[in-house]
Structure 1
Amino acid sequence: MAIIGLHTIVYSSHAEEVRAFFRDVLDYPSADAGGGWLIFAMPPAELAVHPGDEPRQELYLMCDDLPATMTELTAKGVTFTKPVDEQRWGAITAIALPGGTEIGLYQPYHPLPPR
């Protein structure tokens, strides 16, 4: 088997603005797949499987210093939609994306898998 990575999709009625956020605010490099459809390079990923009554997926960006990352992103005009929630496994908040959606931002305290 040759799985080479993880492809994540964010759906939004404001796709151009969300693409600009990933390109201009987060500075993620991208490739144009045609017609302005940007595919962004992402940092290393991990996958957790949690028990739940309803199937769903969640998307979080990870950082190594949540307060510093929040300060840097706030200076770039980012709005946070949730207060920081401290848990034994990490600290978490959420970032507003254009169009009313949000994406999680998370500083893990748990051991990270080998890269």
Structure 2
Amino acid sequence: MFPSRLVLRALAVIGTAASAACSGDVNPLRAAAIESGYGAKPIAAPDFVTESRKGGGDFLPVGISAPARPVRAKSAEGQKALEAELEGARNRNEAQGRAAEGAAKGGVKSLAAPKPAPAE
């Protein structure tokens, strides 16, 4: 009975060590399961996906700059014009909100119960 417990503990330690070693990209337990016919089969990416990836999907190497962007930042005048346009839109939205709020308050008053006729 003693040797079987020792064997079970050894297997448990080996299994724990094998699963703890799976911190990398390759999982040896998963690879063994796939090779033996269990688990999900790897699926290749469709052509349109692989063609749309730039540079193989890897990160830029150290020391190489990212490519220049085709769109440049707005000039100071362009920024001020955009700011004025956005402030005007905000003011219009706030005015519409105040108008809707006033219409709602006026509508509530008209729905109030009518005053009773004075007693004679």
- Shorter-chain TM band: under 0.3
In our comparison, the structure showing a higher alpha carbon Rg is: 2
- Of structures 1 and 2, the one with the larger relative CO (CA 8 A, separation 6+) is 1
TM-score normalized with structure 1 length: 0.17
TM-score for both structures, normalised by structure 2:
0.16
Q: Which has a greater percent of strand?
A: 1
